[in-house]
Structures are given as C-alpha cells and as structure tokens.
C-alpha cells in the first residue's frame, strides 16, 4: 500500500542562464561551477572567491562490505542519471510525476545556490541575485499548489532583507530561506541588528526555513571539509547537524521567538531528535544562569522550542520517537529530492520502514500534519493518506 | 521515601599545595588562580599563559521573574557556602555525609584541574602534574569504595600517556579522564597517533571518561565564552554540550571503538538524549558516504554507540526517554557535586521529579545499573534502592 508524505526538505536547481539579465560587472560575480576533468571535484567561483567542492559520488553498487541494514542507493543509479534528475527537477510536470511515483505530496523547496548565499560580500549582488532567484522560484511555485518555494533573502543590508521579505511575501512566498550562520562580517543571528528582519517575517506570516550545511566559508576552505583522515566522511557529515541547532538556540536565547509568538522556524535536513534534547539543554542553561540570564523569557526555552520550531529528517528512526515519546509535535519528514543522498528511488521503502506499525495519529502528524500547520494554505492530498 | 542514585559526574578539588613537591621551574607553571577584588572573575595562570574565568554566581534567591518550573538553587546558598562545600568535598567523611544526605551512592570523580589539562604545553609538566594529581586522587579514592576517581593522563607524549594509564590502572584507577579535544598542536582524537593510548585503555580495562567543557583555549580566550550579547549565557552553556558528541563521533567513525569492543566511553555532564540522535546521524552519514567511507566498520555506528558509549545527565527529563523509548541502555544520572550548578541541596527533589512513575527497571538502570556495568567492582548500595 502506498504511503504519502509531505517533504520539509526538497531542492530546485537554478538554471545556468538565471543571471544573464544582470549587468556584466555583477554577472561575473554570481556563482558558477567548473568541474575537474576527472569529475571528482568542482570549483565554485563566487564574488571574487573560489571554493572547492567534492562532487556527489556515483552509486556504491552492491554495498560490498557494508552492514546489511544500510539502505542501498537505488540500483543502477549513476552520475549521469543524477545529473538528469537535477534537470528534471526544474520541469514541474516531471517533478510531479517523480513525486507521485515516490509518494511525496507537497514540498518545501530550497534554492540550490542558497548554500552559497552566506558567502556573498557585495550588497548589490546579494540584493539583485536574490531577486532573480525569487522570480525564477515564484514562476516554478506557480505551476503547482504542491510547491512551497523558499525565498532567497539578501543579508548584507538589513533594509534589503526587510524589503525582499515583504515583496516575496506579497508575491506569494510562504517561507524564506536563511543559512544557519549569517555572512562573514555580519553579526550573528542573536544580535539586535536582525530584529527588523524577524519583525518582517512575523508581520508577513512567512516561515523561516534554515537548511543545514549553509555556513559561510573562508575562501581557503573546502566546502564541508572539517575533518580529514580516518572517519572523515562520517565526521564531516555529522558536523553539519549542529548548525541548525545553534541557529535555533540563538533565536530562543535572545528572546526573538519569545517576543514574536507567531514566528515559526523550520530546520531542514538536520534530523529532528535534537529538538527535545536541545529544549532540555537550554532549560538547564537558563536554570544554571538564572541570576544573569538576559533577556528574561516569558516562557521556558523548552516551551518556545516545542511550539515554534519544526525540523525535518529523512531516515532517522529516533525522530519518530521524539514526537511520540518525547512529545515534540513538530517533527516533519523530508525527501531531500532531487539530491542523490535523499530518498529518491526508495521513498516508499523508507516511509514504510519508518512508519509501519507507528500509531496512526503520530504517523499522520509527521508525514502530513506538521507541514500542514506550517503551511495551511497548501491543500491536503486529495486521497487517503 | 528516599531514592538513591550513583553519580556519573562528580568532582574533587585539588588542594593548593598539591604541586609543592615539584621543582621551582615546574611549580611556577602549574595552574593557580588569582581572584579579582570584586570576586566576579578569576585569572588562571598556567604554563606561561593567562586565562580569565567568570566566578560561579551566588544564589539567585527567589527566582524573581523565572518561570515557576525552573528548579531553584538551594535556598540560602551563597558564595561562601559554595567555597566551604568545595573544601568539604576533599574530606572523605564529610563528602560521604553529604552524599548520604542527598541520596548519592557511588561517584565518578573528575579532577578539577583537569579542565586545564588540554592547555598544558610542556611535556614534563603534563607528565609530572598528572602523577601528582593521581597520587592525590588515589589517596582519596582509597578512603571509600564508593569513590571512582578518574586518573589524569598526560597528552603531550604518547609514551607518557600509555605509561600513566598502565601505572594508574595498576594502582587501582578504574577510569581515566580525557578532555573532549586534545591539547592544541596535537592531532585530533580520530588520528592514528592516539592508537597506543586506546590500546592501553583497552588492555587495562580502564574506562575513558570525557567531561564536557574541557576544550583547549587560545590564551586570548575567556573560558567558556563563545557568544556575547543577548542570550549569551544560555548560548555559552548549550555550546558545551557538543564537545562530548564530537569526541564520541571521532572514536566511532575512526574505527577506534569498533576495533576494541571492550573499550567503554563515558561522557559526563553533556546530557544523554544526544545518544540515539547521534547514532542515527552517524548511520545516515555512513549510508550517504558508503562508497568512500574509511574505515569500513564491522558494526553500524549506532550499534557501536549503543553498546560502548555511556552518558550522564542531571535534570534533562528527555534523557530517561532516550533509555525507555529509544532503547539506549547507557543513560546515567550525575550530580555534578560539589559544583554550585549541580543538584546539591535538591538531589532528592530532582531524583523524585525525574524518576517517580518511571518503570522500575528503567529507573534502576539509569540510577544504578549502567554505572554498575561500567564499574562492576564497586559495591551496590547496601540497602533497598
């Protein structure tokens, strides 16, 4: 039996022609990728900086030497199929066909160039780049009521941030994308300077959507490489999970969410079991430093997190228990489509593995209800779920 | 009714005369504290470096403005009582009386100077300092079978590390203390250079005991201050929770624990709910990078963590569910005695709040059983628990 789910974590790949309309002095600064001859790495050129990134690996085939419980990549998938899927993801009809096949209903869709947004240093570039990305995303979103695209937000001038949030909300965006850390040189998310931006999110009703792995980089750094040597691949993967937790801690400890109860925050792709844990840790910190804590919050940090923060996971079985056993109602599932490391090709296997035998109310809440609460204007699936 | 628990997180405060036996050129390099006139900060002098540290705050009194669910500090506690309790904690008889009053049976006891261990730069100092600390801790441990002191380990010369582990194990130590990051300039915990140390722990049967908040500092840094401004106190507190998780990830991803199944690791004071979460995150990373992951592990990361890693928490209610609902049997409770931010003065209230109504097998496992599994030679409480 087919099982359906909304996705709190999907992506769209901007076309390479997206920035052709910009004047030359800006166009040459926008991100472009040059692949190595052997296909193992690419170099991203952005705003006068260069970053190196490992290309997504091809399929591991028969999982030789891996423990049998590991979920295999879809058989026969290879790098060229991966590339095709990226292109298909920008064709709304093909994307919906993929989604129907996989059992995915509505999706929160992040920009792909968004992972570079925190590395832009030129305010005009940030502003005009975000506008073009949002025009593209809006056209895409308008092709199906199942698409919830996240607006790109310029972050180098707070007036530009506020203006783009207001404009994109008026255009129909339901969420804005933010990296887990602001650009280098800008104050961190808990600083007062950002308050007008949080006000704009609150006033427009747009959701804040953080995606993990979006920290700004020094140009000398290779994207996502924090550790080398033994265990490096797993260490680097796990390292990305902390950024979303830290962003949430900043918005709660600083009083940003306490003062704006209508503000809702989604953290995508970082798992979800951290929610109840972080809630307890913040409450403990608040208790231990109760004499010196600033600002005093009107609600416990745990209560704020449980009410205003949402998180999406792909495969983590403990995430369901964070909802059913630990009481965090805001756990959401996500496919990471069309990324190679997501659930494409095995979504039904993943969903059945996660939810078969789970209490129906919990299952429905995680697959459908939490997403619905964040985006009530998105229609429910027209069939039994 | 009194409820009893072992503590996976306690401390002893070394006497200021501890290093008097050292020759002058070393004695002057060992850590010493000079308090500011106003008592708000202290300066730690260590191995030619200076570090600033905020002094523990005095009691917050009636918790004005705090949500009522916050656990209050023991009423009437003030800074001088705090200082006295530190001194008392080195008097075995008084410590046991405190423990009996609070309902604490056996304790894992960390060195207090240990938080500075990762900042020592002089190998001879590391070696001789650890030896003196261990002589003091051994004398203390010998006063009660309820004391499990952790041996200090010199970390600047691997031969010294191995020698001190072997000697302290022969002397009767059951665990060795390690900071969550090695000293600056030394390779990180996942590097092959440390394998002789892990072998020594495995060969002697000594447990590895990480304590959070023990990262090495640049001399320009103020201890534990990562964030300033709004929410800084809570942000800085929460930040300390990640170090233990990262250390565990390194030991698992690098194969250190997989290759040494008898090795057991305790992470103290960082909460415990992270265990099942990190297990899922590592398994996901291992799956996503299955073609390139090195080394290939014989067991899933989650299985290694569930079997060989233990963690202690104080107040986090979700930690109990990490055991009962998520199946991690290695959740332990800890008092943080004699620290001001621990449970002293309200341990019974804390334990009843956490465990009343919890399944008796789960409650016993967290309060008594997991500790007992790590340290089977420590006698059980002689009364009903």
**Structural element, H or E, at residue A8:** strand A5-12
Q: Is the per-residue pLDDT at B58 higher than 50?
A: no
Query: Which range among A301-310, B87-96, B209-218, B272-281 shows the weakest confidence by mean pLDDT?
Result: B87-96
The model's pLDDT over A297-345, given as tens digits with 9 standing for 90+, comes to 999 999 999 999 999 999 999 999 999 999 999 999 999 998 878 899 9
Q: How large is the greatest C-alpha to C-alpha distance in chain A, in angstroms?
A: 60
Q: What is the mean pLDDT of residues B2-18?
A: 93
Q: Residue B35: what pLDDT? A: 86
Contact in structure between A351 and A5 (CB atoms under 8 Å): yes
Chain B partners within 8 Å of A293 (Cβ): 233-234
Residues 6+ apart with CB under 8 A from B193: B158, B186, B187
More confident residue, A82 or B260: B260
Contact in structure between B289 and A234 (CB atoms under 8 Å): yes
Q: What is the mean pLDDT of residues A279-284?
A: 96
The model's pLDDT over A343-373, given as tens digits with 9 standing for 90+, comes to 999 999 999 999 999 999 999 999 999 999 9
Contact in structure between A102 and A343 (CB atoms under 8 Å): yes
Predicted confidence band at B287 (pLDDT cuts at 50, 70, 90)?
Answer: confident
Q: What is the CA radius of gyration of chain B?
A: 20
DSSP code string of B171-237: HT--EEEEESSPPTTSPPTTSGGGHHHHHHHHHHTPEEEEESS-----TTSBTT----STTHHHHHH
Q: ipTM for the complex?
A: 0.92
- Residue B177's nearest CA partner among B103, B267, B254 is B267
- Selected residue of B56, B58, B212, B231 to mutate for chain A interface (largest A Cβ count, 10 A): B231
Q: A99-134 burial string, b = 16+ CB within 10 Å, else e?
A: beebbbbbbbbbbbbbbbbbbbbeebbbbbbbbbbb
Q: Residue B198: what pLDDT? A: 98
**C-alpha span between B60 and B92 (Å, rounded):** 29
The model's pLDDT over A42-63, given as tens digits with 9 standing for 90+, comes to 888 899 998 888 765 544 333 3
Chain A partners within 8 Å of B341 (Cβ): 288
Separation in Å, CA of B278 to nearest CA in chain A: 8
Separation in Å, CA of A28 to nearest CA in chain B: 33
- Cα A37 to Cα A49, A80, A223, B123, distances in angstroms: 21, 15, 19, 47
Separation in Å, CA of A363 to nearest CA in chain B: 16
Predicted confidence band at A40 (pLDDT cuts at 50, 70, 90)?
Answer: confident
Chain A partners within 8 Å of B233 (Cβ): 253, 285, 289, 292-294
**C-alpha span between A257 and B259 (Å, rounded):** 46
Contact in structure between A281 and B289 (CB atoms under 8 Å): no
Residue in A closest to B283 by C-alpha: A70
Measured between its terminal Cα atoms, the distance across chain B in Å is 10
Contact check, Cβ <8 Å, A191/B237: no
The model's pLDDT over A232-260, given as tens digits with 9 standing for 90+, comes to 999 999 999 999 999 999 999 999 999 99
- Residue A328's nearest CA partner among B277, B230, B357 is B277
- Dihedral over alpha carbons A16, A20, A22, A24 (to 10 degrees): 100
Instruction: Please report where in the chains the tokens 């947004």 appear, as a residue.
Output: A117
Chain A partners within 8 Å of B290 (Cβ): 60, 63, 66, 70, 73
Residue in B closest to A237 by C-alpha: B285
- Dihedral over alpha carbons B344, B347, B348, B349 (to 10 degrees): 100
Residues 6+ apart with CB under 8 A from A38: none
Separation in Å, CA of B106 to nearest CA in chain A: 24
Contact check, Cβ <8 Å, B273/A276: yes
Q: Residue B260: what pLDDT? A: 98
Residues 6+ apart with CB under 8 A from B58: A291, B77, B78, B79, B82
Instruction: Please report where in the chains the tokens 């089977």 appear, as a residue.
Output: B376
Distance of CA A182 to the CA centre of its chain: 15
For residue B74, give both structure tokens.
Answer: 């023991």
CA count, 13 A, side-chain hemisphere, B367: 26
Three-class SS of residue A300? coil
**C-alpha span between A56 and A114 (Å, rounded):** 17
Q: What is the mean pLDDT of residues B2-16?
A: 93
Predicted confidence band at B85 (pLDDT cuts at 50, 70, 90)?
Answer: low
Instruction: Kindly state the percentage of chain B with pLDDT values over 70.
Output: 90
Q: A260: how many CB neighbours lie within 10 A of its CB?
A: 17
**DSSP state, B341?**
T
Q: How many CB pairs under 8 A join A and B?
A: 237
Q: Is the per-residue pLDDT at B59 higher than 50?
A: no
CA count, 13 A, side-chain hemisphere, A128: 17
**C-alpha span between A288 and B295 (Å, rounded):** 41
Pairing of strands A147-152, A32-35: unpaired
Pairing of strands A309-313, A331-333: parallel
More confident residue, A218 or A20: A20
Instruction: Kindly state the percentage of chain A with pLDDT values over 70.
Output: 90
Q: What is the reported pTM?
A: 0.93
Q: Is the per-residue pLDDT at A64 higher than 80?
A: no
Identify any residues that bridge with B309 across adjacent strands, giving them in sequence order: B265
- Residue A272's nearest CA partner among A149, A366, A356, A365 is A366
- Residue A243's nearest CA partner among A149, A331, A311, A332 is A311
Q: What are phi and psi of A108, to 5 degrees?
A: -85, 120
Separation in Å, CA of A105 to nearest CA in chain B: 23
Q: Residue B110: what pLDDT? A: 97
Instruction: Please report where in the chains the tokens 């093909």 appear, as a residue.
Output: A94
Separation in Å, CA of B153 to nearest CA in chain A: 23
Q: B305: how many CB neighbours lie within 10 A of its CB?
A: 27
Contact in structure between B337 and B99 (CB atoms under 8 Å): yes
The model's pLDDT over B61-72, given as tens digits with 9 standing for 90+, comes to 333 333 322 333
Contact in structure between A235 and B250 (CB atoms under 8 Å): yes
Predicted confidence band at A78 (pLDDT cuts at 50, 70, 90)?
Answer: low
Contact in structure between B43 and B51 (CB atoms under 8 Å): yes
On average, the pLDDT of chain B sits at 90
Contact in structure between B123 and B157 (CB atoms under 8 Å): yes
- Cα A273 to Cα A307, B45, B182, B239, distances in angstroms: 15, 41, 28, 17
The model's pLDDT over A119-178, given as tens digits with 9 standing for 90+, comes to 999 999 999 999 999 999 999 999 999 999 999 999 999 999 999 999 999 999 999 999
Q: Is the per-residue pLDDT at B382 higher than 80?
A: no
Contact check, Cβ <8 Å, B192/A317: no
Predicted confidence band at B134 (pLDDT cuts at 50, 70, 90)?
Answer: very high
Q: Residue B78: what pLDDT? A: 56
By 3-state DSSP, what share of chain B in percent is helix, strand and coil, each rounded to 5? 40, 15, 45
Contact in structure between A369 and A333 (CB atoms under 8 Å): no
Chain A partners within 8 Å of B278 (Cβ): 238
Contact check, Cβ <8 Å, B285/A255: no
Q: What is the mean pLDDT of residues B9-30?
A: 91
Q: Residue A328: what pLDDT? A: 98
Q: Residue B66: what pLDDT? A: 34
For residue A106, give both structure tokens.
Answer: 């509505």
Contact in structure between B269 and B214 (CB atoms under 8 Å): no
On average, the pLDDT of chain A sits at 90
CA angle B256, B262, B266 (to 5 degrees): 75
CA count, 13 A, side-chain hemisphere, B213: 18
Q: How many helices (H) and strands (E) does chain A have?
A: 15, 11
Angle between helices A232-239 and A241-253 (to 10 degrees): 20
By 3-state DSSP, what share of chain A in percent is helix, strand and coil, each rounded to 5? 40, 15, 45
- Selected residue of A227, A287, A311, A326 to mutate for chain B interface (largest B Cβ count, 10 A): A287
For residue B105, give both structure tokens.
Answer: 């049976």
Q: Is the per-residue pLDDT at B369 higher than 80?
A: yes
Contact check, Cβ <8 Å, B280/A316: yes
- Cα B54 to Cα A363, B33, B205, distances in angstroms: 47, 12, 37
């Amino acid at each position: 039996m087919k099982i359906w789910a909304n996705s709190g974590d999907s992506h769209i790949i901007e076309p390479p022609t997206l920035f052709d309309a910009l004047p030359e002095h800006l166009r040459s600064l926008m991100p472009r990728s040059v692949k190595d001859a052997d296909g193992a790495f690419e170099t991203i050129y952005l705003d006068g900086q260069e970053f190196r990134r490992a290309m997504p690996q091809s399929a591991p085939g028969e999982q030789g030497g891996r423990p049998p419980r590991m979920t295999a990549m879809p058989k026969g998938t290879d790098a060229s199929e991966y590339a095709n899927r990226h292109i298909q993801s920008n064709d709304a009809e093909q994307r919906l066909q993929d989604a129907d096949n996989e059992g995915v209903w509505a999706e929160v869709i992040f920009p792909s160039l968004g992972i570079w947004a925190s590395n832009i240093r030129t305010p005009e570039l940030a502003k005009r780049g975000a506008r073009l990305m949002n025009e593209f995303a809006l056209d895409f979103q308008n092709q199906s009521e199942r698409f919830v695209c996240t607006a790109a937000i310029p972050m180098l001038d707070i007036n530009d941030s506020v203006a783009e949030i207001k404009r994109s909300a008026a255009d129909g965006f339901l969420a804005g994308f933010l990296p887990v850390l602001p650009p280098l040189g800008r104050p961190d998310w808990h600083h007062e300077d950002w308050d007008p931006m949080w006000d704009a999110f609150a006033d427009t009703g747009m959701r804040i959507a953080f995606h993990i792995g979006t920290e700004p980089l020094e140009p000398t750094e290779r994207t996502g490489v924090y550790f080398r040597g033994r265990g490096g691949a797993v260490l680097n993967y796990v390292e990305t999970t902390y950024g979303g937790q830290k962003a949430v801690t900043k918005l709660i400890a600083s009083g940003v969410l306490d003062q704006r109860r209508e503000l809702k925050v989604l953290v995508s792709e970082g798992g979800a079991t951290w929610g109840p844990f972080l809630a307890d840790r913040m409450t403990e910190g608040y208790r231990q430093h109760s004499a010196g804590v600033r600002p005093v919050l009107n609600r416990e940090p745990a209560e704020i997190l449980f009410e205003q923060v949402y998180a999406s996971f792909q495969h983590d079985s403990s995430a369901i228990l964070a909802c059913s056993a630990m009481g965090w109602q805001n756990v959401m599932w996500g496919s990471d489509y069309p990324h190679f490391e997501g659930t494409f090709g095995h979504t039904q296997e993943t969903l059945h593995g996660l939810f078969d035998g789970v209490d129906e109310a919990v299952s429905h809440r995680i697959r459908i209800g939490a997403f619905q609460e964040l985006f009530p204007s998105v229609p429910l699936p027209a069939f039994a779920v």
